[in-house]
Amino acid sequence: MKSEEVKEIAAFIAEYAACLLGSGVHTSRVIRNSGRIGESLGVEIRMTTLHKTFVLTVSEETNGHSFTRVVDIPAFGVNFDFNASLSSLSWEAFDGRLPLETIRFRYGQILSRGLLSPWVVLGMVSLANAAFCKLFAGDWVAAGVVGLATAIGFFIRLEMQRRHINHFITFTLSAFVSSLCASLCLWLGHTPEIALATSVLYLIPGVPLVNGVIDIVEGHTLTGFSRLIQAVLLVICIACGLSCSLLLVKNSLL
């Protein structure tokens, strides 16, 4: 294998693994997927992952060429479609012995695929949080108010994310506004506590929390802890936003 070829493979694997790590895939899957593509192309892939960067070495036996890259991990936001499709792609490459150009082409196709419209997501999340409120034995008024509070909070979150405003500020403000809207239930309906409690739950960063635990139990302790710490910081932000609302209405709750 020529040195140029190994270099190209390294460039592709760097992009591929960065995309997976950036869209909320746990570490061991990224390493397995990348290794599989490397194996199908006849090179060996070794990786060390951290939270914001990873180190990648691609090496080839016959001529002894090897390339090492330190790659930044982008913050794409969780995308399960990338997770599923890019994992499938690694198997297709492995089973079909696809050449690099074909893999790269399919990779481009997957990345350019359309996303669910944010408005549809907003509707679904609002409905989900209203159902969640009912699940905690809230009354219908509370469920309605929580649905509305979620829609407003989620809209704020979308707008702030679009403007690339700091994550922590986004979460705190969304939680504050949602819980403030939910405190309407103090005067409507009979379950204000349940409404307040559920109004912020749509913000819980479930994917990093679970990925953190998976990484830790699989021995990628450093990456797992960094994911957990990031997730816990977001949970603290949610708690701060909720606390601000509680400070304003606490006398009516006692």
Partner 1 sequence: MVADILSDAFLAAVAGTGFGAVSRPPRRAFPFIALLSGVGHALRFCLMTLLGVDLATASFFAALFIGLGSLVFGGKIHCPMTVLYIPALLPMIPGMYAYRSIFALVMLMQQFNDPVLAAQYLERMLMNATVTVSVVFLLSLGATLPTFLFPRRAYSLTRKRPSGN
Interface with partner 1 (CB under 8 A): 24-26, 29, 32, 77-81, 83-85, 87-88, 90-92, 95, 115-116, 120-121, 124-129, 131-132, 134-136, 193-194, 196-198, 201-202, 204, 206-207, 209-211, 213-214, 217, 239, 242-243, 246-247, 250, 253
Kindly state the smallest distance separating residue 130's Cβ from partner 1, in Å: 8
Kindly state the smallest distance separating residue 63's Cβ from partner 1, in Å: 31
Kindly state the smallest distance separating residue 64's Cβ from partner 1, in Å: 30
Kindly state the smallest distance separating residue 72's Cβ from partner 1, in Å: 22
User: 131 or 188, CB closer to partner 1?
Assistant: 131
User: 26 or 65, CB closer to partner 1?
Assistant: 26
Please provide the DSSP assignment of the chain as one string. --HHHHHHHHHHHHHHHHHHHHTT--HHHHHHHHHHHHHHHT-EEEEEE-SSEEEEEEE-SSS--EEEEEEEPP-----HHHHHHHHHHHHHHHHHT--HHHHHHHHHHHHTPPPPPHHHHHHHHHHHHHHHHHHTT--HHHHHHHHHHHHHHHHHHHHHHHTT--HHHHHHHHHHHHHHHHGGGGTSSS-HHHHHHHHTGGG--HHHHHHHHHHHHTT-HHHHHHHHHHHHHHHHHHHHHHHHHHHHHHHHH-
Residue 103's φ and ψ, nearest 5 degrees, are -60, -45
User: 156 or 239, CB closer to partner 1?
Assistant: 239
User: 59 or 243, CB closer to partner 1?
Assistant: 243
User: 10 or 21, CB closer to partner 1?
Assistant: 21
Kindly state the smallest distance separating residue 74's Cβ from partner 1, in Å: 15
User: 67 or 150, CB closer to partner 1?
Assistant: 150
User: 64 or 254, CB closer to partner 1?
Assistant: 254
Residue 74's φ and ψ, nearest 5 degrees, are -75, 160
Kindly state the smallest distance separating residue 15's Cβ from partner 1, in Å: 19
Beta pairing partners, 71: 54
The rounded Cα 4 to chain-centroid distance in angstroms is: 34
Kindly state the smallest distance separating residue 197's Cβ from partner 1, in Å: 3
